[in-house]
């Protein structure tokens, strides 16, 4: 033994730790490698090993940093870690304290997008069977977007132009940044809790994938899925697809398109309403023609020419039949009965009372003849109008020649 | 006659119904005429609703008790 200093383990570990801590290169270093042995502890800290062909490096990522990760790290993934190298004195081992991880090659946002898409797809959040129909004439439309910017103005303008009957209810939210997903999801839930509208348009204008990121957030996706009010997603420009688009009941390409899909166009509505008018007139025209024909057919029948004579005849016939029925033996009773029933029902069908019961009336002149036109009448003549159950005596006030009853009364 | 309370949606639904009844042709003439009158009144009403509609835009704010409060929202445009 010479006089050289004997270190305790702790002292040596502290010594090495100081060396490493003082090295500026090691205080912030990027390390590329493959993830392995990835574990998330209940504490929320992430522990893993970075490997390459020949070596490995122990890494830890504390909860705060780990919660900011946009993708879910998986073993085998090639990543670049940013961190500082330091000694963990208890084990006498050095490790990398990671502050950020990014996926090597593909962007980590891209990876996160695909991961979340696969996860929510697996859970059935994109199922067509869950999608709700968009109401045809929404009276109230909730718009969840930023109160500043072009998107909200585009939506309001298009809604106003197409269908000004719909009331627009804006729920202003931030649409980018860390607070955005919680605000958008919150607004969706709030709109549902208070049933503020029959339809929701949620979206924002175009931007980078970072700008649109809130609409790729799981919280927003779940809030859309949970919404009992149908949701139209209207994010970015045509080619931008977000997770919100997959979950929404209807995907619009842009905010303006979202407004177009939300309401009918009043120009088309006006045309549709005008077509009703044509159909009404045609249907009524046909009805009037049919009724006119019926009146013509009826008035040609004898029963209306001289109803009382006709009835007397039938009554005589009935009496005759009745007496013959009584006189005839058992054998022919049923034959006569059939004839009786047939005649009785014919009589019933021909009865002017039936006709009168449908709202027709018979007009008779003073001498009792049935009137078919005003031709034989003049002002001051007495006319009797017979209804089904009663009658009125009238005096002719005015002869309206050439005026048809079909005209609007 | 159309009732005053009918919304646009209800008016369209009733128009649909009326045109079906009229086209079926089995209503009495008197009913057909009153359906026609009701229909034309509804058509006028739908047109008027669209002509006179003024878009309403409000901004929602969470009130002190959590319930929604409506505030005016200036669209910054002359519509």
In angstroms, the CA A302 to CA A307 distance is 7
Residues in chain B within 8 Å Cβ distance of A358: 28
What is the reported pLDDT for A207? 87
Which of B14, B43, B56, B72 to probe by mutation at the A interface, max A CB count within 10 Å? B56
Confidence of residue B79 (pLDDT cuts 50, 70, 90): very low
Identical fold at A9-105 and A112-264?
Answer: no
| Domain interval for residue B34 | 8-72
More confident call, A322 vs A28 = A28
Q: Which architecture characterizes domain A112-264 according to CATH?
A: 3-Layer(aba) Sandwich (3.40)
Every domain of chain A and the residues it spans: 9-105, 112-264, 355-409
Give yes or no for A292 touching B (CB within 8 A): no
Most confident option among A66-70, A114-118, A257-261, A310-314: A257-261
Distance from CA of B29 to the nearest CA of A (A): 7
- Confidence band, pLDDT 50/70/90 cuts, at residue A348: low
The alpha-carbon gap from A249 to the nearest alpha carbon of chain B, in Å, equals 22
Q: Which residues of A touch B59 (CB under 8 A)?
A: 147, 169-172
According to CATH, the topology of domain A9-105 is OB fold (Dihydrolipoamide Acetyltransferase, E2P) (2.40.50)
Tell me if chain B has a CB within 8 Å of the CB of A269.
yes
- ipTM for the predicted complex comes to 0.84
- Distance from the Cα of A202 to chain B's closest Cα (Å) equals 15
Residues in chain B within 8 Å Cβ distance of A166:
55
* Selected residue with higher pLDDT from A342 and A98: A98
pLDDT band at B40 (very low <50, low <70, confident <90, very high): confident
**Least trusted range by pLDDT, from A96-110, A171-185, A245-259:** A96-110
pLDDT at A326: 57
Instruction: Identify which has the larger pLDDT, A114 or A147.
Output: A147
Q: B2 in a domain, yes or no? A: no
Pairwise CB contact (< 8 Å): A156 & B56: no
Neighbours of A277 (CB within 10 A): 16
Q: Nearest 5°: phi and psi at A101? A: -125, 135
Predicted pLDDT at B75 = 72
- Written in H, E and C, the secondary structure of chain A is CCCCCCCCHHHHHHHHHHHHHHCHHHHCEEEEEEEEEEEECCCCCEEEEEECCCCEEEEEECHHHHCCCCCCCCCCCEEEEEEEEEEECCCCEEEEEEEEEEECCCCHHHHHHHHHHHHHHHHCCCCHHHCCCCCCCCCEEEEEECCCCHHHHHHHHHHHHHCCCCEEEEEECCCCCCCHHHHHHHHHHHHHHCCCCCEEEEEECCCCCCCCHHHHCHHHHHHHHHCCCCEEEEECCCCCCCHHHHHCCEEECCHHHHHHHHCCCHHHHHHHHHHHHHHHHHHHHHHHHHHHHHHHHHHCCHHHHCHHHHHHHHHHHHHHHHHHHHHCCHHHHHHHHHHHHHHHHHHHHHCHHHHHHCCCCEEECCCCCECCCCCCCCCCCEEEEECCCCEEEEECCCCCCCCCCCCCC
Report, as an integer, the average pLDDT of A363-379: 84
| Interface membership of A190 toward B (CB under 8 Å) | yes
- Pairing type for strands A382-386 and A391-395 reads antiparallel
CB contact at 8 A, B49 and B8: yes
Residue B1 has pLDDT above 50, yes or no: no
Chain B residues with CB inside 8 Å of A359's CB?
Answer: 28, 30
Are the C-beta atoms of residues A80 and A101 closer than 8 Å to each other? yes
Please check whether residue A405 touches B, CB under 8 A.
Answer: no
CA-based nearest distance A171→chain B, Å: 5
Closest-CA distance, A290 to chain B, in angstroms, reads 9
Within a domain: B19: yes
Q: Is the pTM of this model over 0.80?
A: no
Q: Report d(CA A286, CA A406) in Å as an integer.
A: 12
Mean pLDDT of chain A: 86
Contact B45, B8 (CB under 8 A): no
The pLDDT of residue A56 is: 92
Question: By the CB < 8 Å criterion, does A141 face chain B?
Answer: no
Domain count, chain B: 1
Nearest CB to B40; choose among A137, A165, A277: A277
**Tokens 């022919």, residue?**
A332
């Amino acid at each position: 033994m010479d006089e050289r200093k004997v270190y305790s383990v702790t002292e040596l570990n502290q010594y090495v730790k100081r060396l490493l801590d003082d090295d500026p290169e090691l205080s912030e270093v990027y390390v590329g490698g493959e993830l392995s042995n990835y574990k998330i502890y209940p504490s929320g800290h992430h522990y893993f090993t970075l490997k390459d062909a020949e070596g490995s490096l122990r890494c830890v990522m504390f909860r705060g940093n780990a919660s900011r990760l946009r993708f879910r790290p998986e073993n085998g993934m090639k990543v670049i870690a940013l961190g500082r190298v330091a000694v963990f004195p208890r084990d006498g081992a050095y490790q990398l304290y990671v502050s950020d991880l990014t996926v090597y090659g593909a962007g980590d946002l891209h990876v996160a997008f695909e991961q979340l898409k696969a996860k929510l797809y697996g859970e059935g959040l994109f199922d067509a069977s869950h999608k709700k129909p968009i109401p045809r004439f929404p009276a109230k439309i909730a718009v969840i977007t930023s109160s500043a910017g072009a998107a909200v103005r585009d939506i309001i303008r298009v809604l106003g132009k197409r269908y000004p009957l719909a009331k627009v209810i804006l729920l202003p939210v931030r649409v980018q940044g860390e607070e955005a997903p919680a605000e958008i999801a919150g607004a969706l839930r709030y709109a549902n809790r208070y049933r503020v509208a029959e339809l929701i348009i949620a979206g924002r204008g175009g931007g980078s994938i970072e700008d649109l990121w809130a609409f790729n957030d799981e919280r927003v996706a779940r809030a859309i899925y949970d919404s009992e009010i149908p949701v139209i997603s209207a994010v970015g420009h045509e080619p931008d697809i977000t997770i919100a688009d997959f979950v929404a009941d209807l995907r619009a390409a842009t905010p303006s398109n979202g407004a177009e899909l939300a309401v009918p166009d009043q120009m088309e509505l006006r045309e549709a309403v005008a077509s009703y008018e044509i159909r009404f007139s045609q249907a009524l025209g046909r009805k009037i023609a049919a009724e006119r024909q019926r009146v013509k057919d009826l008035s040609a029948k004898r029963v209306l020419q001289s109803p009382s004579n006709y009835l007397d005849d039938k009554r005589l016939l009935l009496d005759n039949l009745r007496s013959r029925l009584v006189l005839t033996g058992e054998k022919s009773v049923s034959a006569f009965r059939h004839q009786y029933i047939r005649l009785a029902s014919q009589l019933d069908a021909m009865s002017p009372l039936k006709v009168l019961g449908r709202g027709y009336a018979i007009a008779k002149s003073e001498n009792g003849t049935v009137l078919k036109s005003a031709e034989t009448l003049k002002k001051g003549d007495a006319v009797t109008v017979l209804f089904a159950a009663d009658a009125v005596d009238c005096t002719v006030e005015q002869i309206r020649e050439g005026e048809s009853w079909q005209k609007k009364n | 006659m159309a009732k005053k309370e009918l919304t646009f949606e209800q008016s369209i639904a009733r128009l649909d119904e009326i045109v079906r009844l009229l086209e079926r042709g089995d209503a009495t003439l008197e009913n057909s005429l009153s359906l026609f009158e009701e229909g034309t009144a509804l058509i006028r009403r739908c047109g008027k609703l669209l002509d006179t509609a003024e878009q309403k835009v409000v901004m929602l704010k969470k009130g002190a008790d959590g319930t929604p409060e409506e505030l005016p929202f200036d669209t910054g445009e002359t519509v």
